[in-house]
Structure formats: C-alpha cells, structure tokens
Amino acid sequence: MERNLFDEEHNLFREAFAKFVQKEIVPFHEQWEHDGIVSREVWARAGAQGFLCMDLPEKFGGAGLRDFRYNAIVNEELAKVNATGPRFTLHTDVVVPYLSHYASEEQKERWFPDIVKGTCITAVAMTEPGTGSDLGGLRTTAVREGDHYRINGQKTFITNGILNDLVVVAAKTDPTAKHKGISLIVVERGMEGYERGRNLEKIGMKAQDTAELFFNDVRVPVANLLGEEGKGFRYLMEMLPQERLSSSVNSVAAAEAALGWTVQYARERKAFGQPIGTFQNSRFKLAEMQTEVQIARVFVDRCIMELNAGRLSVADAAMAKWWCSEMQQRVIDQGVQLHGGYGYMTEYPIAKAYQDARVRRIFAGTTEIMKEIIGRAMGF
C-alpha cells in the first residue's frame, strides 16, 4: 500500500536527516552503547542543522514547522538504524511541548534558543521509586518560601537523566491534595541540591542515559513554575497523547526495520539447499509480520494527521501506543526466531532490537494503563 502521508518538503527533510544519522550517529553508536551515554556534541550538531524542535518559532531559532510529520521522520530514521541512544524525540516531542504550551514569554526567551541549538538538553521527571503510574501518590514536594520553592524528593527511570540541563519536575505544591496538588517546576543544571544518581543499567537502550535524580532542599525561583500551581496533573494529561503517538511511530518503524533485516536474512540463509524464506512456515510468518506492520502504520499515520488537526483523542493515542508496542515485540521476536541461533548473537541488529523493544510496553504508560484509559473512554 502506497504511503501518501508526506509531501516533497518532508521528503527533503528526511533525506537530510538520514544523511545526518549516517554521518553523526551510526559510526559512534556502538561506542555510546559501551559508554552508556551519547556525546553532547551530537546534540549540538543536530541542533545546528535544524533537527531539534522544528515547531518552535523562528525568533527562537526554530523552523516554525508545526507539523508532527517532521517529528515522525526523525523518529523513523533513528529507528531504521537501531539508534536508541540519542533521545531527540523525548526533547522535541515530549518535554518541549510542555514549555511551548505553558511557559511564559520570559521563560521561552530564556530557554528556547539553547534548547533549539541542542546546547540545553531537556528531561521530564514524573516517576518515583514508589509511584509508577500513580501520579497522585507523588512524594516530591515543592514548598513555597517567598520568591522560591524548596524542592525535596527523588525521581527514577529519567530519560536524559545524566545529560539534562533542564528538567520539568512534577512535585506536590499542596501535599494535602492528590492530583490537584501537583505542579510543574523547571529545575536547571547547577542548582544547589540537584544531584544525579546512577546511570541505570538496563536490558536494552544501553546508549541512552537513564538515571535517578535527587532533590535535596533545591531552591528554585518561583519564576520557574510552569503555568499555574495545582494544574500540573492536567498539563501532564494534555501532553501525554503526543508522547504516546511519538512512541507508536517509533514502534512501527522499529518493527518495519526488523522485518527488513529478517526478509534479507531469509533470502540469503539456506537450509536443505534452498533459502529459508521459501519454506511455507517462513513465508507464513513473514506474511504475518508484514501484515501487522502495515496495519499499524496505516492507523498511526491517521493519528499523526489527527494530531496535526488538533483532534487526536486520549483514547486513540492509547490504542496506538499499546497495540504498536505489543506488535513491535511480536514482530521482532518472530524475526529472532527466523534468524535461528544468529538472532541471539548481538552482532546481528535483530538481537539488539529485541533488547531495546521490551521497554516500549512500559514507558509512556504501560499496556495495562492504556487499556484502562480506553475502557473508561467507552463508558466503563
């Protein structure tokens, strides 16, 4: 089925970013896997070439391209080459939208130029050791003291946890309330008491820094409050559909890449004197993989256009997120099976993809939470 989501401008952008990936990411990614972190230089180079925060206004250095198709292209091209280290998409698709929607003009002028350049790397800190999906149970507090907040608490599983220069922290400004007591406050690198913990060792996505964050009497100016006090939970909920769509785009592209590697292997690898892809079981499995990827792509492409039109519902984003992440796992697992023993060897990209894929069913909302959202939207 022909994909008609993109026009000539998008294709030119894809071509430019694909060249960037081949030059600036692919040759270094294996080393980043060993290091557990990517270089700051690749962020600055991506920013210099216009591959970060494309939607931000030109006056801040952005391109003013309020079109999620460009975001999708970045996501897809990284997934094609198994580049799970540089989390440009978290920066562009997830964190910066909080600032775009809720930051004051003064805050935008202060932060956006360096964010677009890639010299200010962003993160968002919601998850805590004892809360998981229960944001109402947050224990991190932000107590108002004159023109400052004093923040105390701990966060975990924070993407860009080591690299970040600016982190949007979900904290309780009213500990007596649950969801209505949550506010979003921006903490910046160098603020006294803001400390990074371990760069956590993970099953996959080893080049991507995921860390614990600690806030010990961190004094943050009230000027760093995003929006209004007590509306943080609402802000988080309003931005989650885009985050979940971004994850879905990546899942589909990663599954498609895995299918491509498996098809190539099935054509080249021979057993009993013929390519393994010619056996009926192999053909059936490849057909199943192709069908699942194609169906997922059609739905996700529709969701992209719904987001552009301002119509993407919370339930539709949840459907895309859970189904595509589960589909990604199925397709990659079948790819490993068709590779046989070689699929278990890390020198083959399918093995790394298998490790990297597992977390997709967890972050940005677990499969179980997504189903709960959909069920409630149905009136149950």
pLDDT higher than 90, residue 356? yes
**CA–CA dist 93, 31 (Å, integer):** 26
| Structure confidence at residue 134 (pLDDT) | 67
pLDDT at residue 177 is higher than 90: no
Q: Which domains does the chain have, with CATH numbers?
A: 8-120 (1.10.540.10), 123-229 (2.40.110.10), 234-377 (1.20.140.10)
Per-residue pLDDT, 133? 65
Write down the pLDDT at residue 179. Answer: 86
pLDDT at 110: 98
Q: What is the DSSP letter of 271?
A: E
Q: Report how far residue 185's alpha carbon sits from residue 169's, in angstroms, rounded to the nearest whole number.
A: 5
pLDDT range class, residue 194, cuts 50, 70, 90: very high
| pLDDT at residue 77 is higher than 90 | yes
SS (H, E, C) 195-252: EEEEECCCCCCCCCCEEEEEEEEEEEEHHHEECCCCCHHHHHHHHHHHHHHHHHHHHH
184 pLDDT more than 80: yes
Residue 377 CB-density burial (10 A; 0-12 exposed, 13-18 middle, 19+ buried): middle
16 pLDDT higher than 80: yes
> Taking residues 128-141, what's their average pLDDT?
81
Residue 130 pLDDT > 80, yes or no?
Answer: no
Are the C-beta atoms of residues 153 and 139 closer than 8 Å to each other? yes
Average pLDDT estimate for 308-321: 97
Q: What is the pLDDT of residue 132?
A: 66
Length of the chain: 380
The chain-wide mean pLDDT, for the chain, equals 96
Asked if residue 83 lies in contact with residue 46, where contact means CB atoms within 8 angstroms, the answer is no
The pLDDT confidence band at residue 136, using thresholds 50, 70 and 90, is: confident
pTM for the whole structure: 0.95
Alpha helices in the chain (DSSP H): 8-24, 29-35, 40-48, 68-80, 88-89, 96-102, 105-117, 232-268, 280-308, 314-339, 349-357, 367-377
Give me the pLDDT at residue 210, please.
97
* pLDDT at residue 131, rounded to an integer: 75
Amino acid 2: pLDDT = 86
Predicted confidence band at 344 (pLDDT cuts at 50, 70, 90)? Answer: very high
Q: Is the pLDDT of residue 135 over 80?
A: no
Kindly tell me if the per-residue pLDDT of 167 is higher than 80. yes
The mean pLDDT of 74-81, rounded to a whole number, is: 97
CA 280 to chain centre: 37
Please write the tens of the pLDDT for every residue from 200-245.
Answer: 999 999 999 999 999 999 999 999 999 999 999 999 999 999 999 9
Catalytic residues: 243
Which is it for the CA torsion 175, 369, 131, 198, positive or negative? negative
What percentage of the chain carries pLDDT values higher than 90? 95
